[in-house]
Amino acid sequence: MEFPFETKLFRETDTIETAKKFSSCLVPGDVVLLNGNLGAGKTFFVKYVCKEFAIENVSSPSFAIINEYINSKKIFHFDFYRIKKETELYDIGIEEYLSNDEAIVFIEWAQLWEGILHHKSYVVNIELNGIDERTIRIIKCQN
């Protein structure tokens, strides 16, 4: 996969294929921000990236704020949607999660609290164009 990457997604299998390709680019220490409206497919995308790491039980972290998974890779999966104050993030130990070089970090709704992030490796944007049409854009960031 080359960056910036952009493609249209017409069905779930298109997203799964993109997730699979993207997974092979990821290394421990990467921080991946995911932006896009409710139901755009952020969790769906992370689920299928994790499947490549033999992690099968990925679910939305929107209530828990963070889900942790470990198999062939260690994953921290955040959702900032329900975070109302920056202090909530510090209370859950965001700094320690972000500084863990052994984990790959995914953050849904990262744009809400992007100011607290010191570095990001990739930004994934999923735009819902219609009922069955999405555009995914992935940018690789310089750290």
Ligand X SMILES: Nc1ncnc2c1ncn2[C@@H]1O[C@H](COP(=O)(O)OP(=O)(O)OP(=O)(O)O)[C@@H](O)[C@H]1O
Binding site for ligand X (CB under 6 A): 9, 11-12, 14-15, 36, 38-44, 60, 62, 79, 108, 134
Find the shortest distance in angstroms from Cβ 79 to Mg ion: 6
Find the shortest distance in angstroms from Cβ 110 to ligand X: 11
Distance CA 108, CA 21 (A): 19
- Asked if 7 touches Mg ion (CB under 5 A), the answer is no
Are β-strands 74-79 and 66-70 bridged in parallel, bridged antiparallel, or unpaired? antiparallel
96 contact partners, CB below 8 Å, separation of at least 6:
none
Q: Which of residues 22-51 bind Mg ion (CB under 5 A)?
A: 42-43
Distance CA 115, CA 65 (A): 18
Find the shortest distance in angstroms from Cβ 137 to ligand X: 14
With contact defined as beta carbons under 8 Å apart, do 127 and 39 qualify?
A: no
Q: Which of residues 57-76 bind Mg ion (CB under 5 A)?
A: 60
- Interface residues with Mg ion (CB under 5 A)? 42-43, 60, 108
